[in-house]
Structure 1
Amino acid sequence: MKACWMVLLPNRAPFAMVGAQINRDEALTCARIIWPEADVA
């Protein structure tokens, strides 16, 4: 569980998504609500 995840998008530099401590699946779901093509690391 982490509170900061790197969001990876095509044609953009990676950037941090900061919030509550969540696991990777939850972080991916949150990111894809805003950026449907996102991945997280």
Structure 2
Amino acid sequence: MISFQLLLKVNHAKHELHNVFIRQLYRENLFDDMLKEHNNT
């Protein structure tokens, strides 16, 4: 059986990785470009 401490460590690692990926996807210097409306002409 998996110990509770191991589950806590795995969950912590999962959340930390998720945060790293989110920070890389959403960089503040790209917000202006992402929020611009694109013309479909």
Under a length normalisation based on structure 2, what TM-score does the superposition of the two structures give? Answer: 0.32
Q: Which has the higher helix share?
A: 2
Q: Which has the higher strand share?
A: 1
**Higher RCO (C-alpha under 8 Å, 6+ residues apart):** 1
Under a length normalisation based on structure 1, what TM-score does the superposition of the two structures give? Answer: 0.32
Name the larger-Rg structure: 2
